[in-house]
Homo-oligomer: A and B are copies of this chain.
Amino acid sequence: MGHAQRLRIVAELYRSAQEGNRLHVSELARRLGLSRPLLYMHLERLETAGLVEGQLELSEDGKAMKYFELKPFALKLDAEMIAETVARDAEPAPDANTKGGKG
């Protein structure tokens, strides 16, 4: 994560959820002033990161609408946690046969 637009998306989804609304892609794009393709890209990343979730539905008048919702998440960010994450990220070499790295 870590891009301003990404944060704005999360913020908007959060606000709407507070008000009891769900938002579909086009509506969200309009509110944030983003193009749909761009928004799709960001939503994809957010979904991959597990921060949001989208589901395609049919509205009353038969139109396809993709609604996105925030998934609850919270993480404490401090030096210790970062050190652990980095250590965990560095070790994965379970079945590679002692071969050198990528270079």
A58 at the interface (CB under 8 A from B): no
Contact of A7 with B82 at beta-carbon distance under 8 Å, contacts A1-B2, A2-B1 already known? yes
- In angstroms, how far is the closest chain B Cβ from the Cβ of A2? 3
Within A57-103, the residues touching B (CB, 8 Å) are 70, 72-80, 82-83, 85-87
Contact A83 B15 (CB under 8 A): yes
Chain A: interface size category: 20 to 34
Chain B residues whose C-beta falls within 8 Å of the C-beta of A78 in the assembled complex? 72-75
Contact A77 B77 (CB under 8 A): yes
What residues of chain A have their CB less than 8 Å away from a CB belonging to chain B?
1-2, 7-8, 10-11, 13-15, 70, 72-80, 82-83, 85-87
